[in-house]
Amino acid sequence: MGGPGRLPCPGGCAVTGAAAGQAPGVVKVRLSGATADVELLATLLADYAGSGLDVLERSAPYPNRRDPGVRVYLTLQITGSAS
């Protein structure tokens, strides 16, 4: 199940945010995969700045502990409304 501040949800995922005392519209995301793929996706998400999604923070790539590749942590701000 999750750690502190996490709620179980269907499929074994974890819900964070308001339950963890986080600001509304702020989402924390972990990207994991091949270095080039993770870097590309992080860059694509950053390109959405000003159009409803802003990257507030981006970590350096960390090597995955048990799997090949890297992980990058992002803090995103959703500024637009969902359609």
What pLDDT score was predicted for residue 20? 59
Q: What predicted TM-score, i.e. pTM, was given to this entire model?
A: 0.69
Residue 77: name the closest of 41, 42, 27, 31 by CA: 27
Average pLDDT of the chain? 81
pLDDT over 90 (residue 4): no
What pLDDT score was predicted for residue 50? 82
Give the Cα separation of 7 and 48 in Å (integer). 28
Residue 19: name the closest of 33, 30, 9 by CA: 9
Half-sphere exposure at residue 71, Cβ-oriented, CA atoms within 13 angstroms: 10
Q: How would you class 10 by CB atoms within 10 Å of its CB: exposed for 0-12, middle for 13-18, buried for 19 or more?
A: exposed
pLDDT over 60 (residue 54): yes
